[in-house]
Amino acid sequence: MDPVHALRRTAFLLEREQASSFRVEAFRKAAAVLLALDADEFDTRLGAGTLTDLKGIGKSSAEIVVQAAQGRTPERLAKLEDAAGPLVEGGEELRAQLRGDLHTHTDASDGGSPLAEMAFTAAELGHEYIAVTDHSEGLKVANGLDRGRREAQLEQIAALAAPLAPFRLLSGIEVDIGKDGTLDCPPDLLARLDVVVASVHSELRMPADAMTRRMLAAIRSGRMDVLGHCTGRMVKGGHGRVGEKGRPPSEFDAAAVFAACVEFDVAVEINARPERLDPPRALLRQAVEAGCLFTLSTDAHAPGQLDWQPYGCARAEECEVPADRIVTTWPVERLQEWVSTRRAAHA
């Protein structure tokens, strides 16, 4: 077994099980050190047992490397593989129909891994495409990208096209919806991106009428393709820092918001993160009734989280969301045609 693959796979499975990214990063760092090492030095250090003298390779990583180099599945990895059953019951049929993911973050904003690691992991999962949707500039807590960094990322995306083919890496953004409903990114830049996800991240407790006006203004701008995690709620006891304590959903006139999504051809995101599962059941059913389109996305902040789609699939199935109204079941050509048609009509 290739030691780099063994380390990456170990990290992936730990993240899939919701391990803290601190524990996981060590394995990826070790993989990166190995990749930069020439073959002779690797052999010498393997023989002498001095891999751990290298900065970035700790005891647990070295153990994995040694066992993989001996041609066997490392014990640690074998245990993880054995334990890696289905994450949730239900939604299998829908999961089989998903082709991509339109909400992912890299270490350019608040994710844990570089663009290439996210993209290759998505391809390994069998996805046909993902959009990288790092945060917009104003979201300082999440290290949002300014124009310069966004343009640098567009160049990185273009450079990865050939190595990833036929997998498609789409450009995107999770643009923050300001208190007055303005989108936190200049229109010319938004227009250059393949997918624009817009979400509320601040003042989630504002009065319902103000929140409704805010969301409607954003949707009616015509410049967003997807409404991200529409209530901002956090399930109590869920994964992550905020998830532990929970956070109530924000309040707004859902009938008006979903009607605007239909009118402006904006898809409502089914956010699959276990601590979000947003929209909650009643709202998701209401959006189905209203005739909305949907995305089903993981909001992954690490490669292993790209495999969290089943949480959203189970929820979508339970709320009887028709698969054909979930744009992430569509081939990339149909997806891109939908985006350009809706922008031509509304932006």
Piece of the chain touching Zn ion by CB under 5 A; list 24-32, 63-71, 124-132, 191-199: 191-199
CB of 199 or CB of 329, closer to Zn ion: 199
Least gap, CB of 111 to Zn ion (angstroms): 12
Question: What single-letter amino acid sits at 148?
Answer: G
Least gap, CB of 159 to Zn ion (angstroms): 26
Least gap, CB of 54 to Zn ion (angstroms): 37
How many residues interact with Zn ion (rule CB under 5 A)?
Answer: 1
Q: Residue 234 in 3-state DSSP?
A: strand
CB of 199 or CB of 250, closer to Zn ion: 199
**Cα separation of 245 and 179, whole Å?**
24
Select from 10, 199, 231, 250 the one that contacts Zn ion (CB under 5 A): 199
Question: What single-letter amino acid sits at 276?
Answer: R
Residues 206-245 that bind Zn ion (CB under 5 A): none
CB of 56 or CB of 240, closer to Zn ion: 240
| DSSP single-letter state for residue 89 | S
CB of 54 or CB of 234, closer to Zn ion: 234
Contacts of 316 (CB under 8 A, 6+ apart): 91, 94, 270, 284, 294, 296, 326
Q: Which residue's CB atom is positioned nearest to Zn ion?
A: 199
Q: How far lies 340's CA from each of 130, 235, 319, 334, in Å?
A: 17, 35, 29, 10
Least gap, CB of 232 to Zn ion (angstroms): 8
**Cα separation of 135 and 143, whole Å?**
7
CB of 20 or CB of 202, closer to Zn ion: 202
**Cα separation of 228 and 230, whole Å?**
6
Residues 62-81 that bind Zn ion (CB under 5 A): none
- The residues that touch Zn ion, with contacts defined as CB under 5 A, are 199
